[in-house]
Amino acid sequence: MQATPPSVFVTGATGFIGQRLVSALVEQGYRVRAMVRPDAKIDTRLPPHVEQIPVDITDVDKLAGIVPESSAVIYCAGSVRGRSAADFSIANVEGVGAMLAALGRVAEAPPMLLLSSLAASQPGLSDYARSKYQGEQLLLGKNSLPWTIIRPPAVYGPGDKEMLPLLKMIRRGLLAHAGPRDQRLSLLHVDDLAAAVTAWLSAPQPCYQKTFAIDDGTAGGYDWAAIGEAVKDGNFRMIKLPRALLNIAARSNMLVSTLLGYAPMLTPGKVRELTHPEWLCDNSDFSAISGWEPKLDLKTGARQLFATEP
């Protein structure tokens, strides 16, 4: 008789990271149950054989009915753009609380992986960073539950919309950066992040009640010259965007987004994140526990990306 494959409940499965993660899970033989919005029709961003479960991310009662049938929960939902703290709160804080409450009702709760962000290490910088920090804090108090937090740095790869414009511009020979020239940045390819999650699922020893900030294995991260070298083989021009100009653009964006009703990415908080001198990770603890090693540094990741992207 064939064993039933382990079933993983994934929130945020329809997003940039979630979609690559779902593909990786399916490839590894997991049965994926993906949370979709309660009013969603069949979501075509997900593969046809993935079970779609319409549920509100804050509905503790419904979640409590779903999680016992899962061998693990991966909380990948998140708000990455918004005007105010309230815009980030539902997916980054309230949904995390609801999932924990649901898990708390289960006799033997399945392990939960929270995809947080390196931004959570600097909660004072922006509403986004604070919301990711607050989401993490909800887990830290739950010693009876088997949770793990992964804090990725900036993630790029197929399907990404945030870093792609910057990488495309470098590809065309212009590297316009907001942070200081010697800023140190860790990066991570989305497929290495997905592989880290599958490594967590099958880790030989449990790694619960722990937080890991993981990157592509480039020790000390990249400065802007190294980013240019990796993406454009040295043949590029660098300009530093004046912070005052970025702040004006961010404030105008806040105003226009209020008038037009969209969630802005460039905000004064995002400018503070972009200009923060150091966003660095260290894989050693997570690799030692899970056996995971990243495969794609920026040079390889960018080459792959631009083999398909125009």
Ligand X SMILES: NC(=O)c1ccc[n+]([C@@H]2O[C@H](COP(=O)([O-])OP(=O)(O)OC[C@H]3O[C@@H](n4cnc5c(N)ncnc54)[C@H](OP(=O)(O)O)[C@@H]3O)[C@@H](O)[C@H]2O)c1
Residues at the site binding ligand X, with contacts judged by CB under 6 A: 12-18, 37, 57, 76-80, 90-91, 115, 117, 132, 152, 154-155, 162
Task: Give the nearest distance from C-beta 107 to ligand X in angstroms.
Answer: 27
Task: Give the nearest distance from C-beta 192 to ligand X in angstroms.
Answer: 12
Pick the closer one to ligand X by CB: 36 or 199. Answer: 36
Burial class (CB in 10 A: 0-12, 13-18, 19+), 243: middle
The SS3 assignment for 308 reads: helix
DSSP one-letter code for 202: T
Task: Give the nearest distance from C-beta 30 to ligand X in angstroms.
Answer: 18
CA distances from 69 to 64, 100, 110, 154 (A): 10, 15, 9, 32
DSSP code string of 69-136: G-SEEEE-------SSHHHHHIIIIIHHHHHHHHHHTSTTPPPEEEE--GGGG-TTS-HHHHHHHHHH
Q: Which residues pair with 278 in a beta bridge?
A: 184
Pick the closer one to ligand X by CB: 145 or 185. Answer: 185
Pick the closer one to ligand X by CB: 43 or 251. Answer: 43
Task: Give the nearest distance from C-beta 237 to ligand X in angstroms.
Answer: 25
CB 8 within 8 A of CB 201: yes
Pick the closer one to ligand X by CB: 78 or 221. Answer: 78
Q: Which residues pair with 173 in a beta bridge?
A: none
CB 24 within 8 A of CB 30: no
CA distances from 254 to 111, 125, 166, 273 (A): 39, 17, 21, 16
How do strand 31-36 and strand 210-213 relate by DSSP bridges?
unpaired
Pick the closer one to ligand X by CB: 225 or 265. Answer: 265
Pairwise CA distance, residues 137 & 194, whole Å:
24
Pairwise CA distance, residues 140 & 143, whole Å:
7
Pick the closer one to ligand X by CB: 95 or 228. Answer: 95
Task: Give the nearest distance from C-beta 196 to ligand X in angstroms.
Answer: 12
Task: Give the nearest distance from C-beta 46 to ligand X in angstroms.
Answer: 10
Q: Which residues pair with 149 in a beta bridge?
A: 114, 211
Task: Give the nearest distance from C-beta 155 to ligand X in angstroms.
Answer: 4
Pick the closer one to ligand X by CB: 164 or 251. Answer: 164
Task: Give the nearest distance from C-beta 63 to ligand X in angstroms.
Answer: 12
Pick the closer one to ligand X by CB: 16 or 292. Answer: 16
